[in-house]
Amino acid sequence: MLPYGGSIRLGDNCTVNPYTVIYGHGGVQIGDNVRIATHSVIVSANHVFSDPDQPIYQQGVTAEGIVIEDDVWIGANVTILDGAHIGHGCVVAAGSVVRGHHAPMSVLGGTPARVLKKRNAGDLVTPLP
C-alpha cells in the first residue's frame, strides 16, 4: 500500500506542461524557475520487491523524496525516480531516466541519466529574441 500524503512544493515561476505526473508520497521539492516538459513523470516512492514469495503490492514502499533545485530544464518524457537530486542549472535531455545525485550545471541524458557535459557561458550559439 502506498503511503498516502507526502508533499509537493513548487517554487516561483515554474511551468509544468500537459500530461506530466508528480507523485509526492516521499516529498518533492521543486525550486524556482524550473521548466518541466510534457509527459514527464516524477515519482518519490518505490515498491519493495525483495521477497519473491510475497506479492509485490504487499511488501510496502520506500519513499526517500526528490529535490529539483532552481533553474532546471527537464525535457519531454523524462522520468525522475525516488531519491533523485538534480542540482541548480541542470538540463535533462528528453527521454532520460534520472536517479541519484547530479551536480549543478550538468547536462544529463540517457537511461539511466549520466552527465553528458557541463554548462558553460556561451553555450547558446544564437540568443533567442
Summarize pLDDT for 28-53 with one digit per residue, the tens. Answer: 999 999 999 999 999 999 999 999 99
Question: Known catalytic residues?
Answer: 47
Q: End-to-end CA distance of the chain: give it in Å, rounded.
A: 50
Instruction: Write down the pTM of the prediction.
Output: 0.89
Q: What's the pLDDT at 5?
A: 74
Q: What is the model's pLDDT at position 120?
A: 81
User: What's 8-115's CATH class?
Assistant: mainly beta
Q: How far apart are CA 105 and CA 121, in angstroms?
A: 11
Instruction: Give pLDDT tens digits for 72-113.
Output: 999 999 999 999 999 999 999 999 999 999 999 999 999 999
* Closest to 66 measured CA to CA, from 105, 16, 113, 23: 23
